[in-house]
Amino acid sequence: MAANAEALDALDARLLLLLSDEPRLGVLECSRRLGVARGTVQARMDRLVQRGVLLGFPPELDLAAMGYGLTAFAVLEIAQGHRALVAEQLAAIDEVCEVHATTGQGDLFVRMVARSNADLQRVIDEIVGVTGVRRTSTSIALSTPVAPRVRPLLERLAKTAE
């Protein structure tokens, strides 16, 4: 979302919390639970999609249960001017879950998964083989004390109407 984009209001936040908890709810049920008209919910959802806030309704998956019990992070230093090419090649590696362009020590921050240490070595070897990657530094995640989340932000916004 752009820096000058319109902020979410309490109803937007309550709608997003509801959809986060129960993504299969229909518009009519959302309107009933929120105490607003069906058209209001539909208009809010359309606006949130149009603004790029609401990106979809994917299921939440447990990668460990899918056989990918190892999560690692790599900081990549890349050749100057190669960010787009490197990102495109990283996207072709199935185990690469996300890539962020960063400031600081490295240029890209990569989250990846693997089935084992040997499998992680294979993934790292693929990443090192990407044209434009000059150096990597990889760390294995031992646990995830705070999982990716947006709920606290939505809850704070939802309280503004109370």
Work out the angle at residue 127's Cα, subtended by the Cα atoms of residues 125 and 101, and round it to the nearest 5 degrees: 155
Residue 102 falls inside a structural domain:
yes
Residue 119 falls inside a structural domain:
yes
Residue 110 falls inside a structural domain:
yes
Q: Are residues 98 and 31 in the same domain?
A: no
Residue 148 falls inside a structural domain:
no
Residue 1 clears pLDDT 80, i.e. is over it: no
Alpha-carbon distance of 50 to 157, in angstroms, equals 20
Q: Are residues 97 and 137 in the same domain?
A: yes
Residue 60 pLDDT grade (very low, low, confident, very high; cuts 50, 70, 90): confident
Alpha-carbon distance of 19 to 25, in angstroms, equals 7
Q: Are residues 81 and 129 in the same domain?
A: yes
Threshold 0.85, pTM exceeds: no
Residue 147 falls inside a structural domain:
no
Chain segment 95-121, per-residue pLDDT in tens: 999 999 999 989 999 999 999 999 999
pLDDT of amino acid 63? 92
Alpha-carbon distance of 16 to 52, in angstroms, equals 13
Residues of the domain holding 79:
64-141
What is the number of domains present in the chain? 2
The widest CA-to-CA distance across the chain, in whole angstroms, is 56
Q: Which of 19, 119, 110 is nearest to 69 (CA)?
A: 119
pLDDT of amino acid 105? 87
Separation of CA 51 from chain center: 17
Work out the angle at residue 107's Cα, subtended by the Cα atoms of residues 139 and 125, and round it to the nearest 5 degrees: 50
Q: What is the mean pLDDT of residues 1-23?
A: 81
Q: What is the mean pLDDT of residues 9-31?
A: 93
**CATH number reported for the structural domain that contains residue 77 in this entry:** 3.30.70.920
Residue 160 falls inside a structural domain:
no
Q: What is the mean pLDDT of residues 20-29?
A: 92
Alpha-carbon distance of 139 to 62, in angstroms, equals 20
Q: Are residues 68 and 116 in the same domain?
A: yes
Q: Are residues 53 and 73 in the same domain?
A: no
Among 21-25, 91-95, 112-116, 131-135, name the one with the lowest average pLDDT: 21-25
Q: Are residues 76 and 114 in the same domain?
A: yes
Residue 81 falls inside a structural domain:
yes
